[in-house]
Each structure stands twice: as structure tokens, then as C-alpha cells.
């Protein structure tokens, strides 16, 4: 690797180190300064061409936040919380297992992990109002949502993997298709999820023993912000229009899930079904509109909700940080590929490590598979290893610049989900490593058991 890459990478870490402690909004705003330095600085040390802001991701966040904010303004969110509270009051720690399982399942059905934005504010409210450290379910849920991508038969990553290994049978002669691949990735992913959730269930200090959290809520205004409505919803009779809003929202989510699971239900755009990213965006906007019209929720009230405020901060944060990281890594992608490929030639098992690192560089599981898998097969890596270790295609939690992770930080008003003082010590690094490594190891041994390796 060139010295220029390491210099620019060090600048990225320095920029994050300076801006992260001040919060998500500043993290996004400060990226403007960082981008100016990176692009306008003297070549060859700087002067990089601009990367691409994640426009599709930003639009998806806006659409989902709009629907979630309307749900909150209508009172429908209270209905969900009342149901969840009834369950969690009996076994309050279950949210650390239940929340990531929900986001994992929704990703499998929809083919994208961006559906997690819908659930993050609900997960936070359930956790904080039952005395659970929000970092535990919030970080686990964000990781689980992305772990579900390679497990989804309708995701680009999963379909790409099947297409790339076509004509390359396993050690026992088996040709692996979509069903066979998912029959390996889903159980491996679930095992990784459960191990990660078990760790998350005990991580960090309990809120009543956390001096930083206690100092925060010592301020009455801060406490109101952290807890929102501190009154319990148990035993409270909610108006029928609030329940109507909740059912409208859930019905739309179900429709999105069905459209994700059955691509033939989507209109064709050229030779391909309509993108699930666009489906999520339009149906989330539709959900908000239906709630406003049917329940007569004033549209002006939507912008005043905590979900809307947190969501818009997340948009600014995602816009700046993702654009900055894309600018640096895209400029050095070819040399990064060359260096990493050499390791795969020497050590076939290093395929999983390379796949993990490349996915961080490109912030996409599908792109990582498209880059690494053809090279791995061409240099003789056993196809069974390629398939068995495919859960390693998710590594963009290593540096906390991915939208769902940044959104989790912003939706956690308690501040427990965070980026650490040294940037790398953030809330997602250990759950991510535990979940992905466990899923990868399980997938590898499942492939051996099936005779694929």
C-alpha cells in the first residue's frame, strides 16, 4: 500500500476522533471540513476525486423517518410500546434478544438492512422505559439487520453469490443454488445472532450503576429528553384512532415484506423487478400519508416528534461521514484489491478475512462479493470455502461510518450507544465481530458437514 493511502486513512481517523465526541450533527457537519481538506489539498498527498454520497440510503432514511414520525404523532407508536411493555415488564431482558431477531427477520424478508430505521426508535423506547441500557439492543439490532442481508433470497448480495459460483461445484459435485445457499447462511446467521445477543445482554453498566448516565439525568430537562413521556402505558386505554394508525403502519410494513419475498409482485423495470430500495421509500411515504388522512393527524405535528428530530440528525451525519469515507477508499480501491488478493493465494482461509476487509472498504456486501469471489475462484480457492465463509461479507461495522450504526447512535438519546474516544472502540465493534465471526465459523463447518469442502 502506498504511503499516500496511509496518510489519508490517518486523516480520516483523526477527523472522526475530533468530531465524534461532539455528537452526530457535528460529525456530519465536520465532514464538510474534512472533504475540503481531502479534495482541495495538494497532490499526491491529497487532492482526491470526490466520492459519492449515499443518496439512496439518505432517501430511504428520510422516508422511513417520515413514516415513523407520523406514527409517533398519531399515537400509534404508543400502541406498539404498550404491547411491547406488557411483554417486557415480565421479562425485561428479552428485548436484547427479541429486537435483533426482529431486524434480522425483516431484512431477510425485504432484502435490505435499511428497514432497521423503522424499529430503532421503538427499540430505544422499550429499552429505556424498562430500565435496560439502550446500547445493548440498539447496537445488536443494527448489526443483526446487516447480518441478514446475505441470508435473504431477495438481496443483491445473495443473488450475486449464486450467480458467481454457478458452474463451480462443491467438493462433492453439488451445485449450490439460492435455496441451498440460504439453507446455510440463515442457520449460521441465527447462531451468530444468538451468541452476539448473549454477549450484548451483559455488556456495559446497568443504567442505575452508570455514573455518566446518572449525571446526565440529574438535569430535569435532560431527563425528560432521555425518557420522553415517563408515565407507563400499562393500564392506559388508548383511543381507537391510535390503534388504527398502528395497524396501518404494520399493514404497510407487511406489504413491503411480501414484495421483498415475492419479486413477481413488483412491477418490472426493464428486465428486473422494481428495486426494493424504491419500494421501501414509496410505501413508507404512503404509510405516513394514510395515517394522516385516516386518523386526522395534523401534518404539522410530525416535525415536532423526537423520532423526526433524531432521524434528521442521522441524515446529516450519514451524508457527511459516508461521503468522506467513500472518497478516500474509492481512490485506492485497485491497489487495495491487489494487496489483499496476494494473501488469498497463500492462505485460502484468508478469503474470509479479505472479504471482511473489502466489505468495509466499499461499504456493501454485494460489492465485496462481486470484487472478491471471482478472484478467489480464479486463483483456486475451493468453492466450498467461498460459500461456507460468505457470512464474512459484512465488515462495515469496523469503523462506525455506516448509516444504520450512525442512526442507532442518534436514536439513542441516553448516549449509551456511542463512538468511543479512540473511534475504533465504539458500540458496534464487538457485537459485529462476535456475530460475523461466529456465523462464518458455523457456515464453514456446516459446509464441511454437507461435503462441500
pLDDT in tens, 393-403: 999 898 887 87
pLDDT of amino acid 233: 67
Measure the CA–CA gap between 227 and 244, rounded to whole angstroms: 25
- Long-range pairs, 98-101, Cβ under 8 A, ≥24: 99/123, 99/126, 99/137, 99/138, 99/140, 99/141, 100/137, 100/140, 100/141, 100/143, 100/144, 100/145, 100/193, 100/196, 100/197, 100/200, 101/144, 101/193, 101/197
pLDDT of amino acid 244: 95
Report percent pLDDT > 70 for the chain: 94
**Using omega within 30 degrees of 0 as the cis cutoff, is the peptide bond preceding 398 cis?**
no
Arithmetic mean of pLDDT, 35-63: 86
pLDDT in tens, 213-246: 999 989 988 888 888 764 556 678 889 999 999 8
pLDDT of amino acid 215: 92
Q: Decide if pLDDT at 314 tops 90.
A: no
Q: At what angle do helices 116-129 and 76-90 cross, to 10 degrees?
A: 50
What is the domain extent for residue 426? 3-449
Q: Which of 319, 452, 313 is nearest to 390 (CA)?
A: 452
- What rounded mean pLDDT belongs to the chain? 85
pLDDT of amino acid 322: 77
Q: Which of 64, 152, 194, 71 is nearest to 116 (CA)?
A: 64
pLDDT in tens, 242-281: 999 989 988 988 888 788 777 788 899 888 888 777 888 8
- Quote the pTM value: 0.71
Number of domains present in the structure of the chain: 1
Helix, strand and coil percent figures for the chain, each rounded to 5: 75, 0, 25
Amino acid at each position: 500500500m502506498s504511503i499516500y493511502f496511509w496518510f489519508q486513512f490517518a486523516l480520516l481517523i483523526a477527523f472522526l476522533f475530533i468530531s465524534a465526541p461532539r455528537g452526530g450533527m457535528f460529525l456530519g457537519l465536520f465532514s464538510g471540513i474534512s472533504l475540503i481538506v481531502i479534495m482541495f489539498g495538494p497532490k499526491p498527498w491529497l487532492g482526491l476525486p470526490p466520492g459519492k454520497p449515499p443518496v439512496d440510503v439518505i432517501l430511504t432514511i428520510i422516508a422511513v423517518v417520515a413514516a415513523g414520525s407520523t406514527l409517533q404523532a398519531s399515537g400509534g407508536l404508543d400502541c406498539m410500546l404498550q404491547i411491547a411493555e406488557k411483554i417486557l415488564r415480565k421479562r425485561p431482558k428479552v428485548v436484547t434478544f427479541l429486537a435483533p431477531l426482529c431486524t434480522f427477520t425483516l431484512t431477510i424478508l425485504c432484502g435490505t438492512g435499511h428497514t432497521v430505521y423503522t424499529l430503532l426508535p421503538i427499540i430505544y423506547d422499550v429499552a429505556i422505559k424498562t430500565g435496560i441500557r439502550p446500547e445493548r439492543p440498539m447496537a445488536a439490532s443494527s448489526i443483526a439487520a446487516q447480518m441478514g442481508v446475505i441470508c435473504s433470497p431477495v438481496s443483491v448480495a445473495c443473488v450475486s453469490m449464486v450467480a458467481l459460483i454457478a458452474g463451480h461445484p462443491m467438493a462433492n459435485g453439488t451445485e449450490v443454488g439460492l435455496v441451498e445457499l440460504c439453507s446455510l447462511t440463515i442457520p449460521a446467521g441465527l447462531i451468530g445472532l444468538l451468541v452476539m445477543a448473549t454477549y450484548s445482554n451483559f455488556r456495559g453498566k446497568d443504567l442505575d450503576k452508570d455514573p455518566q448516565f446518572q449525571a446526565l439525568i440529574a438535569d430535569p430537562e435532560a431527563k425528560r429528553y432521555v425518557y420522553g413521556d415517563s408515565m407507563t402505558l400499562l393500564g392506559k386505554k388508548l383511543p381507537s384512532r391510535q390503534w388504527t394508525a398502528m395497524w396501518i403502519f404494520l399493514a404497510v410494513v407487511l406489504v413491503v415484506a411480501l414484495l421483498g419475498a415475492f419479486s413477481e409482485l413488483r412491477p418490472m423495470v426493464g428486465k428486473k423487478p422494481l428495486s426494493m430500495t424504491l419500494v421501501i421509500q414509496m410505501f413508507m411515504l404512503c404509510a405516513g400519508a394514510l395515517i394522516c388522512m385516516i386518523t386526522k393527524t395534523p401534518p404539522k405535528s410530525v416535525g415536532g416528534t423526537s423520532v423526526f428530530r433524531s432521524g434528521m440528525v442521522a441524515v446529516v451525519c450519514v451524508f457527511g461521514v459516508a461521503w468522506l469515507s467513500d472518497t478516500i477508499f474509492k481512490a485506492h480501491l485497485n491497489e487495495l484489491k491487489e494487496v489483499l488478493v496476494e494473501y488469498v493465494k497463500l492462505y485460502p482461509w484468508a478469503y474470509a478475512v479479505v472479504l471482511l476487509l473489502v466489505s468495509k472498504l466499499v461499504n456493501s456486501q454485494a460489492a465485496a462479493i462481486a470484487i472478491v469471489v471471482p478472484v478467489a475462484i480464479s486463483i483456486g480457492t475451493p468453492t466450498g470455502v467461498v460459500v461456507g465463509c460468505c457470512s464474512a461479507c459484512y465488515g462495515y461495522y469496523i469503523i462506525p461510518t455506516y448509516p444504520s450504526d450512525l442512526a442507532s447512535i442518534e436514536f439513542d438519546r441516553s448516549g449509551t450507544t456511542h463512538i468511543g474516544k479512540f473511534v475504533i472502540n465504539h458500540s458496534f465493534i464487538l457485537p459485529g465481530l462476535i456475530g460475523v465471526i461466529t456465523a462464518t465459523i458455523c457456515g464453514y463447518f456446516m459446509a464441511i458437514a454437507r461435503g462441500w469442502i
